[in-house]
A and B are shown apart, each in its own frame.
Chain A
């Protein structure tokens, strides 16, 4: 009856949900630290600092595992938008999100074992996982071990650029997460893509 493919091996699903849990933890504690104010207690500062440090180190370890697993399994290839016509496919995908989705048109590109992501997804995921995440993790490590941070920065403490980059990349990841969770509802049904992330089986439209 339904058209199902086994899309996501166990390791990707385990990685995805661990990653999700850590990022949400880091976001909540990170917000508590950055916007620390007696009138606005989200997570208490000392507790937030402790959790943030542990979750941060765990995320670094998970990221290293993720990169290694991607190389070993060849999964990294999924993140590469394949020419020709990357731009056209992105435009088509964008048009579908802006117009087609409301009219009930089908997804413009079929998901397959060879291509898990559409071109737009591949680019977005690539930027998040291989540009934004490394910057966030490296600045996070420098924050934790400030003796490796620069000493001075244009008349300010050398930790300033580290802190600002950490803050901004954190904000980008939170925005990505919001969009990512929402786009998860655009499958066959609102919940089918979430089921895929647990079972590994993908329902075609």
Chain B
């Protein structure tokens, strides 16, 4: 009784919202105006009436493919906090999704990233095309920008700020494939040696077994730190995923005072570096103690001084003992 009542209300709400949003025009690409943001949020409620946990549990209709719906659920709060959270879903998805069942052509009408990010795509695409993932036609064909970037969830590094959260977000993209046989098989090409059989996914921790505590590294540092070419400070990371032979294996690239983390994971924070409490790379230390990188030069000097003093002390003591022993011998004679 209660359930069906809720269903009806949800359906009515969805219908009202759908009609309302249909009248509203999709906003501009740069949606910063609070009024537009609010309008878009309201419009999106129509989609979330189905495409959210709530919508799935309280489906407004009974004639839906629930299995498919289950794979297309988003959290309205997460979406609102993402890069595109202020936008109307239909700015990317077109008008084909206003009604259910959705129009057949809906999928092909999804705006490509380049529609709004033309300059960025122009910069990224050549790097992306040089990647290992574009090396094989069959793999490349299945790879899109959205394979790594979920446009409904991700938040750019400068807004996300916390390096540990950035690491989780960016590594999730790679690990979704490289840590799952099922997903990897969907993309992998046939093995060179055994045509007809897909290339087997190498275990991610076994490949990197030369790296101590791999799990800890995956939480605190990104795959792209080692798997993309070096770039100048203040420049965005390259989108070229290098061949495994060219990947960074030198621990000191991160574990030294002049850590490359400053131009990579911590790039957006280095301008705030203040050497807090006298630590070098204190901005890194706020998130991670990185052996060799997050040092205290004064403390190091004091410790080296004390060790040197101990060494000097015993050498001096020894020298005096020898001098006295020689004098005593001389006296005896």
Contact = CB atoms under 8 A, between A and B. Distances in A.
A150 B324 CA distance: 54
Among A49, A157, A168, A178, residue most surrounded by chain B Cβ atoms (within 10 Å): A157
Given A178-B311, A178-B314, A46 B210 contact: yes
A53 interface: yes
Interface stretch (B78-86, B240-248, B286-294): B286-294
Contacts of B216: 146
A185 B319 CA distance: 12
B291 A182 contact: no
A86 interface: no
B310 interface: yes
Given A49-B251, A103-B324, A182-B314, A171 B307 contact: yes
A11 interface: no
Contacts of A159: 288-289
A57 interface: no
Among A36, A46, A168, A171, residue most surrounded by chain B Cβ atoms (within 10 Å): A36
A104 B325 CA distance: 7
Contacts of A174: 307
A38 B255 CA distance: 10
A179 B310 CA distance: 7
Contacts of B285: 156-157, 160
A36 B292 contact: yes
Contacts of B320: 102
Contacts, number: 85
A101 B324 CA distance: 9
A167 B292 CA distance: 12
A175 B291 contact: no
Nearest to B284: A157
A37 B252 CA distance: 7
A158 B228 CA distance: 29
Contacts of B311: 178
A53 B324 contact: no
A35 interface: yes
Interface in A109-161: 144, 146, 155-157, 159-160
Interface string B312-330: 0110011011001100100
B212 A50 contact: yes
Given A102-B321, A171-B303, A155 B286 contact: yes
B95 interface: no
Nearest to A159: B289
A4 interface: no
B252 A45 contact: yes
B168 to A, nearest CB: 15
B243 to A, nearest CB: 21
B257 interface: yes
Given A167-B303, A175-B310, A178-B307, A46 B318 contact: no
Given A46-B210, A102-B320, A34 B289 contact: no
Contacts of A104: 324-325, 328
Contact of A182 (B286, B296, B317): B317
A45 B303 contact: no
A12 interface: no
A164 B300 CA distance: 11
Contact of A45 (B213, B287, B292, B310): B292
Contacts of A193: none
B8 interface: no
Contacts of A101: 321
B306 interface: yes
Contact of A36 (B212, B291, B303, B307): B291
A33 interface: yes
A37 B286 contact: no
A135 B26 CA distance: 63
B286 A156 contact: yes
A104 B256 CA distance: 50
Interface string A167-190: 110010011001100100100000
A179 B212 contact: no
Interface of A: 33-38, 45-46, 49-50, 53, 97, 101-104, 144, 146, 155-157, 159-160, 162-164, 167-168, 171, 174-175, 178-179, 182, 185
17 contacts: A33-B255, A34-B291, A34-B295, A35-B300, A36-B255, A38-B252, A49-B251, A104-B324, A104-B325, A156-B282, A157-B286, A159-B288, A171-B306, A175-B310, A178-B307, A179-B313, A182-B317
Interface of B: 210, 212-213, 216, 251-252, 255-257, 276, 282, 285-289, 291-292, 294-296, 299-300, 303, 306-307, 310-311, 313-314, 317-318, 320-321, 324-325, 328
